[in-house]
Amino acid sequence: MPKHKLIIGLTGGIGSGKTAASDYFQKIGINIIDADIVARAVVQPETAAWHQIKDYFGTEVLEANGQLNRAWLRKQIFANPEQRRWLESITHPAIRTEIIDQLGKVQSDYGILVSPLLLESGQNELVDRVLLIDVPTTLQRQRTQIRDNNSAAQVDAIIAAQMPRQARISRADDIIINDQSLEHLQQACQALHQQYLQLSQLK
């Protein structure tokens, strides 16, 4: 039986730089499993979860091409916590199953699970270490407004809905403070890469 690979969970709040960090790890040859990509894949047309969602919400939940109307669905579940809980009861197990399957196929010395909700969803149970890309809230706000063209109020609402910064910090094994240049972030990732390579030999 093949030995279990070292798995790092990479997370951070909106606008923290998770994607820039995971892109760097991928560029240097590390296998990346992205929970957001998995979440979209498990509700593609004709999947089991897609059928359940269509039956529950009706055809209004679908775009003309059969894809889920995510904007419509997001409004529904934010307004109705019971519907949100139902949706999560369908999607979360499917996402978890697919993530576990992909983690088992990691070929690089270690793998990285990228998930904005790593800690909130319990996906941290699937990883050996948690890497937090952290950024001061003021900078997080600025970056997100510029990137997504959102109002300050929208950004504040998104930040308020996520796990508080200090709670994330307290649960992380490794932290990169991403408040400088992209080069600085990549150097910090490279230093951790060396550490993870050493740890992977101990698995």
As annotated, the binding site includes 15-20
Cα–Cα distance measured from residue 144 to residue 156, given in angstroms and rounded to the nearest whole number:
10
Three-class secondary structure of residue 119 per DSSP: coil
Residue spans of beta strands (DSSP E) within the chain: 6-11, 31-34, 110-114, 129-134, 174-177
Residue positions forming the annotated binding site for ATP: 15-20
Phi-psi region of 187 (alpha: psi -120 to 50; beta: other; left: phi over 0): alpha
Helix (H) or strand (E) holding 179: none
Query: Do 70 and 94 form a contact (C-beta atoms < 8 A)?
Result: no
Strand partners, 68: 62
Q: How far is CA 183 from the centre of its chain?
A: 22
